[in-house]
């Protein structure tokens, strides 16, 4: 029985039929006592396999946790408006081009590269989400994104991690958060791609927990007669998944104490950024974050703030518009630090924030959603309006728990262009164009001439393989070392 998935069918082979029946009866009884007996209302109509599967699913549910969530977020007064008293923009380390201290960035780069060479760094991708906005059938990491060869998000990250390992003379382990919903398809995609050239021993899949969705009375909903409606517990669930799965112990055994966290939907992220790692190390930080200046005052991003000497991220939805639009005496946006979900975690901090035996667990948030469900008559209903509540943890809620948090500025163009929506903002098209702009900038920085429009978009479609260079500085060095340089024309792949 791997992870914390129950193995009732397996147990069934070991236990006598009477013992099995008893454990089923007591499980159903515990749901009844918790006021959730409706989960088994169609149990007698199910065949043996469907019964076993419902039982296995029900076994994963922490009824105490669910009932506490229902009390707090469904039955309680859930209008928990954030206290904005004393809220200030968080200080951050500015990029040298924006007035930051270049010598300090160089020192950070050196410290980060030393940590990498010492084998202290792992990559960590959160890929357990459902990607509903993109509307793609499959794990989001298997979505093709690059402009010429249509490499998938997973392949892009794999190649970046491999290149960074090569650059610093180590194998960088890669931990990938999946959920019960997409884990098998994710692993199958890695198998089919032969782990994209990585040593398969260095890739670790971590399955995050699921939480049941409930109706407005707090009753757990059924997606089918024999299936509970469950959703992943949010990217904040990644911390407890790393602890529960034993990944934190694996890291410790391998001498890893620096965990570079990024989301599955952002192919231009610098998965392994030596300067970022260096600032984290030099600052003795438990949790470091990248901020990008907001594109405009009301941009829908979280804001890096401080309150009572604690760093925190305040969602745009929790900050009044007037506050988001406040300006500095110089005329800039006052709350300017946008969160782009790129962090570095200290391993021991993960153990603390994700551990269940401390008071430091992250809070759950309520999201009202349209949850398809089976009604009391057994009919499947696809609601037109939100009818239920899902519960999620947010990883940035770990920030106030961390000692010495460090925030550094990043250039959006070098780190953030996610694929969230099928069209428009943050879509495959906008992401492809941002990749092309980045490739063109790298070539120009390496001294090449390449025709671009006013937005920096090149007139040719081409690609720089992440296997060739992991960032601009790497590209300049690699390009200079190329004895025969490829002709820069439509369709070329620099690899
Ligand atoms: P999003 O907030 O974009 O959610 O996740 P999503 O589920 O991927 O997409 P939508 O909202 O349904 O369209 C941001 C990142 O956090 C991960 C996602 O995989 C993505 O990398 N995530 C989200 C998890 O790993 N687990 C979760 O439970 C939720």
The three-state DSSP-derived secondary structure of 256-320 is: CCEEEEEECCCCCCCCCCHHHHHHHHHCCCCEEEEEEECCCCCCCCCEEEEECCEEEEECHHHCC
Q: Separation of 270 CA from ligand 1 center, angstroms?
A: 19
CB 143 within 8 A of CB 419: yes
pLDDT at 258 over 70: yes
pLDDT at 145 over 90: yes
pLDDT at 437: 98
- Tell whether ligand 1 has an atom less than 6 A from the beta carbon of residue 420: yes
- Tell whether ligand 1 has an atom less than 6 A from the beta carbon of residue 300: no
Rounded mean pLDDT, 176-187: 96
DSSP tag of 73: I
> Is the four-CA dihedral 333, 338, 344, 350 of positive or negative sign?
positive
- Taking the CA of residue 232 as reference, the ligand 1 atom at the shortest distance is 28
- Tell whether ligand 1 has an atom less than 6 A from the beta carbon of residue 235: yes
Tell me which residue of 173, 418, 419, 406 sits closest to 272, measured CA to CA: 173
Is residue 382 classed exposed, middle or buried when 0-12, 13-18 and 19+ CB atoms within 10 A define those classes? exposed
CB 69 within 8 A of CB 364: yes
pLDDT at 434: 98
pLDDT at 20 over 90: no
- Taking the CA of residue 128 as reference, the ligand 1 atom at the shortest distance is 25
Rounded mean pLDDT, 425-452: 98
Helical (H) or strand (E) element with 125: strand 121-126
- Mutational pocket test of ligand 1: of 235, 236, 424, the residue with most ligand atoms within 8 Å of the beta carbon: 235
Ranges 78-87, 149-158, 353-362, 432-441: which has the least confidence: 353-362
Rounded mean pLDDT, 454-468: 98
Which pTM does this prediction carry? 0.93
Q: Separation of 140 CA from ligand 1 center, angstroms?
A: 9
- Tell whether ligand 1 has an atom less than 6 A from the beta carbon of residue 160: no
Q: Separation of 100 CA from ligand 1 center, angstroms?
A: 33
CB 278 within 8 A of CB 117: no
Rounded mean pLDDT, 21-35: 93
- Tell whether ligand 1 has an atom less than 6 A from the beta carbon of residue 133: yes
Backbone phi, psi, residue 381, to 5°: -115, 130
SS3 at position 107: helix
Cβ contacts of 48 within 8 Å, gap of 6 or more: none
Q: Separation of 179 CA from ligand 1 center, angstroms?
A: 11
d(CA 348, CA 258): 9
Structure tokens at 329: 């005496």
Backbone phi, psi, residue 39, to 5°: -60, -30
pLDDT at 152 over 70: yes
CB 343 within 8 A of CB 395: yes
Q: Separation of 130 CA from ligand 1 center, angstroms?
A: 6
- The per-residue pLDDT of the chain, averaged, comes to 94
**Alpha-helical segments (H) within 125-236:** 153-168, 183-192
- Tell whether ligand 1 has an atom less than 6 A from the beta carbon of residue 135: no
pLDDT at 7: 46
How many CA atoms, within 13 angstroms, populate the side-chain half-sphere of residue 261?
26
Structure tokens at 276: 């970022």
pLDDT at 355: 85
- Tell whether ligand 1 has an atom less than 6 A from the beta carbon of residue 240: no
- Tell whether ligand 1 has an atom less than 6 A from the beta carbon of residue 130: yes
Distance of CA 433 to the CA centre of its chain: 23
Q: Separation of 178 CA from ligand 1 center, angstroms?
A: 10
Q: Separation of 131 CA from ligand 1 center, angstroms?
A: 6
Whose alpha carbon is nearest atom 5 of ligand 1? Answer: 129
Whose alpha carbon is nearest atom 22 of ligand 1? Answer: 129
- Mutational pocket test of ligand 1: of 123, 124, 125, 129, the residue with most ligand atoms within 8 Å of the beta carbon: 129
pLDDT at 14: 57
DSSP tag of 66: H
pLDDT at 169 over 70: yes
Instruction: Give the percent of the chain with pLDDT over 90.
Output: 91
pLDDT at 2 over 50: no
pLDDT at 1 over 80: no
CB 178 within 8 A of CB 186: yes
Q: Separation of 128 CA from ligand 1 center, angstroms?
A: 6
CB neighbourhood size of 88 (10 A): 10
| Cα Rg, the chain, nearest whole Å | 24
Residue position matching structure tokens 């760094």: 121
Task: Encode pLDDT of 309-350 as tens digits.
Answer: 999 999 999 999 999 999 999 999 999 999 999 999 999 999
- Taking the CA of residue 238 as reference, the ligand 1 atom at the shortest distance is 25
d(CA 121, CA 271): 11
**Alpha-helical segments (H) within 121-259:** 153-168, 183-192, 237-244, 247-253
Whose alpha carbon is nearest atom 4 of ligand 1? Answer: 129
Q: Separation of 263 CA from ligand 1 center, angstroms?
A: 8
- Helix, strand, coil % in the chain, rounded to nearest 5: 40, 20, 40
- Tell whether ligand 1 has an atom less than 6 A from the beta carbon of residue 234: yes
């Amino acid at each position: 029985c791997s992870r914390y998935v129950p193995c009732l069918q397996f147990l069934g082979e070991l236990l006598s039929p009477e013992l099995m029946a008893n454990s089923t009866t007591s499980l159903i009884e515990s749901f009844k006592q918790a006021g959730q007996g409706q989960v088994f209302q169609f149990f007698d109509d199910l065949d043996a396999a469907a019964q076993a599967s419902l039982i296995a699913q029900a076994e994963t549910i922490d009824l105490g946790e669910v009932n506490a969530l229902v009390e707090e977020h469904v039955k309680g007064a859930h209008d928990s408006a954030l206290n904005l008293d004393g809220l200030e923009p968080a200080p951050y380390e500015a990029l040298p081009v924006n007035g930051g201290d270049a010598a300090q960035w160089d020192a950070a780069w050196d410290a980060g590269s030393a940590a990498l060479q010492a084998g202290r760094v792992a990559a960590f991708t959160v890929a357990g989400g459902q990607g509903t906005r993109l509307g793609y059938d499959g794990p989001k990491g298997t979505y093709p994104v690059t402009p010429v060869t249509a490499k998938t998000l997973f392949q892009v990250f794999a190649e970046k991690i491999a290149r960074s390992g090569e650059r610093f003379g180590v194998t960088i382990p890669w931990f990938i958060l999946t959920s019960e919903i997409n884990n098998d398809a994710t692993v199958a995609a890695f198998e089919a791609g032969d782990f994209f050239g990585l040593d398969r021993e260095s890739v670790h899949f971590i399955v995050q927990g699921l939480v049941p969705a409930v109706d407005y009375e707090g009753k757990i909903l059924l997606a089918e007669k024999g299936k509970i409606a469950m959703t992943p517990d949010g990217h904040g669930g990644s911390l407890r998944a790393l602890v529960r799965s034993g990944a934190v112990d694996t890291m410790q055994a391998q001498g890893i104490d620096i965990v570079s966290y990024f989301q599955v939907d952002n192919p231009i992220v610098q998965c392994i950024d030596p300067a970022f790692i260096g600032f984290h190390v030099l600052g003795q930080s438990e949790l470091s974050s990248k901020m990008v200046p907001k594109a405009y005052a009301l941009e829908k991003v979280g804001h890096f703030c401080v309150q009572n000497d604690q760093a925190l991220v305040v969602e745009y939805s929790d900050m009044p518009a007037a506050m988001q639009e406040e300006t500095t005496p110089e005329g800039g946006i006052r709350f300017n630090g946008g969160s782009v979900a790129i962090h570095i975690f200290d391993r021991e901090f993960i153990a603390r924030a994700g551990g269940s035996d401390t008071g430091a667990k992250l809070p759950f948030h309520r999201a009202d959603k349209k949850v398809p469900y089976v009604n009391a008559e057994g009919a499947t209903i696809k609601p037109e309006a939100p009818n239920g509540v899902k519960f999620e943890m947010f990883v940035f809620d770990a920030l106030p728990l961390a000692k010495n948090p460090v925030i550094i500025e990043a250039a959006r163009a070098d780190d953030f262009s996610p694929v969230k929506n099928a069209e428009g903002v943050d879509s495959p098209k906008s992401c492809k164009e941002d990749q092309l702009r980045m490739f063109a900038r790298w070539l120009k920085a390496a001294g090449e001439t390449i025709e671009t429009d006013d937005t920096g978009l090149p007139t040719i479609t081409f690609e720089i393989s992440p296997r060739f260079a992991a960032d601009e500085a790497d590209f300049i060095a690699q390009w200079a070392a190329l004895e025969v340089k490829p002709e820069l024309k439509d369709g070329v792949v620099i690899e």
